[in-house]
Structure 1
Amino acid sequence: MTISTTKKLIGATLAAGVIIALAGCGQAPTSKPGGSDKPVDSKFKPCIVSDDGGWNDRSFNQSAKEGLDKITKELGVKSLELQSDSADQYGPNLEQLVSSGCTYIITVGFNLSADTIKSAKANPKINYAIIDDLADGDQDGKPDAPNIKPLLFDTVQAAYLGGYAAASWSHEAGVDKVGTFGGLQIPPVTIFMDGFVQGVAKYNEDKGTDVKSVGWDVAKQTGSMTGGFAANDTAKQTAQAILDQGVDVLLPVGGPIYQSAGAAIKAQNKGTLLMGVDSDLAVADTSVASMTLVSIQKNIGEAVSSAVKDAAEGKIDTTPYVGTLENGGVGLSSFHEFESKLPKGLLDELKKLQEDIISGKIKVTSVSSPKA
């Protein structure tokens, strides 16, 4: 598959007052959704299985399904979607997709890696894609089955911008303290937290300030976790523990757990703001739009759409796709209603930071960054 030069924008232009996800050459799938270059095989059947959190998580599962729904409508093909409500459903769900005649199977998330590898090895004529994992159980640097395409995202880059923005907001408000917590301690979660904390540190370095970040220690790779992606009492209590430390910006990383964070913020009623992950949370869930400062996005839906379209046209390439700031695979959303309230010069500072990350002048990485 050739390298895509399609420019994918997350957000809008700086002239409109938001951050532009500067685009460039990347490892994106070749084709864009739209008119098919070739007739689609009548037997082509793309399918998808979720991680827990469900299709309405306003996050990674929902983004992936929306990407599949979009391209299947454009291609005029039928798909099958199965939701996993717990880890013990991953294997059976994959078996059901295989027995249902699926020819391209997408698994959503790091947690499905072992079951995806097992299914792909047992069904070499079926093509697979997995989101947020290299499917590299034997740690040799490549997928364990030749029929798996990893769809990866170097989210630390966008999270770095998010951390910088959070620190700027908090310092302007005179609070000087922000926080984060996660669902499961897995790379697709901790990569957000690494970037967020590093971005706060960059703001302090640039401004001579001392904005504190609580909830995650990058060096020790330890911090506050709920143990899952469910929006439950545990998630609310975890959020409350961070809020009790006096933060005024909170980044929950783990699908629906943002709902618990939002409930804790509303109960506290001190004007603390949320930050979203994966999708543009202010758009995905308007009930929290008034408290969502900005979202750190992964363009999962576009990656899924492009990979499925390629497969439909017989362009099977299992070279890992890695979403970056450069190719538009990750980026910040609009600040929406908070744009007019941002600290003076922040948008220009974020634009310059993004340019420096893309050029390599600023090195932003995480122990959880994709190794592909």
Structure 2
Amino acid sequence: MKKRLLALLLIGILVFTVVGCSSSDTPSEVEGPTETEDQGEAENTPASEPIRIAMVTDEGGVHDQSFNQSAWEGLQRAQEELGIEVSYQESQQDADFAPNFETLLDAGNDLIWGIGFKLADAVLDAATANPDQKYAIVDHSFGDNTPDNVVGVMFKAEQPSFLVGYIAGRMTETNKVGFVGGIAGDIIWGFDYGYQAGVQYAAHELGKEIEVLNQYAESFSDVAKGKAIAQQMYQQGADIVFHAAGDVGTGVIEAAKEQGKWAIGVDRDQNYLAPDNVLTSAMKRVDVGVYNVVKDLVEGKFPGGQTITYGLADGGAVDIAPSSNKHVPQEILDAVEELKQKIIDGEIVVPYNEATYKEFIDSLK
């Protein structure tokens, strides 16, 4: 009997020991999240949002075949290569500028562009009112007064204009060429006087006189007016007309096509608009300037408070169009290459306004 009681007692002690050990080895509460909780936290953590960049056009609109379109192409390239989100607001008139900037600010964009010198006041007002918002503007410099949240992008447009002017001077058969400007001012004067200087440089080289007809449309969007001005110039004997006028220039090219004359495009390679009538184009690569600033922003190097200026020395931001070899003889293209180098080296200083043009002409005498 005693042996049975002792055996039962030993069994009871053994069972208690096993249960006790089992309980102490299995925690009642798990420290830290379980696998399921980890997944839930990951799903609830917001992914980093892409950088958003937008632009406000002038009245030429994003499909002007020229200036605004080039800027939009720069943003599209940035979207494709840098993974940002892009958008635009088109302006029909100057009164649209400020509301368009406000719309893009409310949309949460990280950088907002103003495309063209006409938007300078609107950019400055917006930047001053919103110091934490980044802005950029093409074709205007605020100089030493540039706010820290603004970057300006400028181009030495007189340089490619000089080159296409030289081509016009070498290729005119009537010794009369034309220039159609958009809205008169510092930016378009650069195209105008650079072109005239190139024409007269060629005339001096050839030992003859070449007349340059000149008229401004005072618009960047009136296609019909551009066409009418160009038609008049062709009727007066011009056989080549260069435009720096946004969508107004579309009318110039239409006139060249109808009259069987030459037109010279601007900003982009515009040969595709009239393959048999666009002789060359003075390229001002707004897309390059826009893309480069966006890339800097994405890399954390936004150049606020500065103005970036592009010329022939800056790797293709300004130049003549690649399609120039379709219609321009090789010997003239070779001469253009020599002129490029002289401009880069400072042997030729291309004029950009009336005063510097007069100095240039005096230097040819």
Give TM-score, length-normalised by structure 2.
0.80
CA distance in 2, matches of 1:354, 1:245: 32
Unaligned runs of 5+ in 2: 1-46, 356-365
Aligned to 2:295: 309
Equivalent in 110, 117, 133 of residue 103 of structure 1 = 110
CA change 1:207–1:350 in 2 (3 A) is same
Amino acid at match of 2:151: K
* Residue type of the alignment partner of 2:178: G
Counterpart AA for 1:49? V
- Going from structure 1 to structure 2, the CA distance change for 1:287 and 1:299 (only over 3 Å counts) comes to closer
Deviation at 1:209, TM superposition (A): 1.6
Query: What residue in structure 2 maps to residue 62 of structure 1?
Result: 69
Change (3 A) 1:281 1:368: farther
Paired residue for 1:153, among 152, 155, 175?
A: 155
- In structure 2, relative to structure 1, the CA distance for the partners of 1:338 and 1:78 (3 Å cut) is closer
RMSD over aligned CA atoms reads 1.9
Question: In structure 2, which of residues 83, 86, 96 is the aligned counterpart of residue 79 of structure 1?
Answer: 86
1:123 to 1:43, Cα distance in 2 relative to 1, 3 A: farther
SS at match of 1:146: coil
After superposition, the Cα gap between the structure-2 partners of 1:48 and 1:317, relative to the gap in structure 1 and judged at 3 Å, is same
Distance in 1 (CA, whole Å) between partners of 2:58 and 2:218 is: 14
Deviation string 1:298-336 (CA, Å, 9 cap, x unpaired) is 111111111111112211213211110011221101244
Partners in 1 of 2:224 and 2:109 — Cα distance? 38
Select the structure of larger CA radius of gyration.
Answer: 2
Give the alignment of 1:1-372 within 5 angstroms: 42=49, 44-134=51-141, 136=142, 141-170=143-172, 174-215=173-214, 224-267=215-258, 269=259, 271-282=260-271, 286-318=272-304, 319-327=306-314, 328-336=316-324, 338-339=326-327, 342=329, 345-367=331-353
Q: Residues of 2 paired with 1:358 and 1:41: CA distance?
A: 44
Relative contact order, higher structure (CA 8 A, sep 6+):
1
Q: Is the 8 A contact 2:177 2:238 kept in 1?
A: yes
Partners of 2:109 and 2:323 in 1: CA distance: 40
Please report how far the alpha carbon of residue 184 of structure 1 lies from its aligned counterpart in structure 2 after TM superposition: 0.8
Q: Give the 4+ runs in structure 1 shifted more than 4 A.
A: none
CA distance in 1, matches of 2:169, 2:291: 35
Given the superposition, is the C-alpha separation of residues 105 and 182 from structure 1 closer, same or farther in structure 2, using an over 3 Å criterion? same
- The alignment's TM-score, normalised by the length of structure 1, stands at 0.78
Q: CA deviation digits over 1:109-146, x for unaligned, max 9?
A: 00000000000111111111100001x2xxxx324422
Cα deviation 1:37-74 (Å, max 9, x = unaligned): xxx96363111111111111111100101100111222
> Structure 1 residues 299, 262: CA separation in 2 closer, same or farther (over 3 Å shift)?
closer
Aligned residue identity for 1:111: K
Q: Percent identity?
A: 29
Residue 262 of structure 1 and its aligned partner are, at CA, apart by 2.6
* Amino acid in structure 1 at the alignment position of 2:111: Y
Q: Distance in 1 between matches of 2:123 and 2:354?
A: 20
Shift of 1:264: 2.5
Kept in 2, the 8 Å contact 1:290–1:337? The answer is: no
Asked whether the 8 Å contact 2:191–2:352 carries over to 1, the reply is no
* Structure 2 counterpart of 1:3: none
Number of paired residues?
307
| Contact 2:58 2:119 (8 Å CA) reproduced | yes
Equivalent-residue separation in structure 2 for 1:143 and 1:278 (angstroms): 28
C-alpha contact 1:50 1:108 (8 A) present in aligned 2:
yes
Task: Tell me the CA shift for residue 244 of structure 1.
Answer: 2.3
Q: Write out per-residue CA displacement over residues 208-249 of structure 1, whole angstroms, 9 at most, x where no aligned residue.
A: 12122111xxxxxxxx11121124432222222222221000
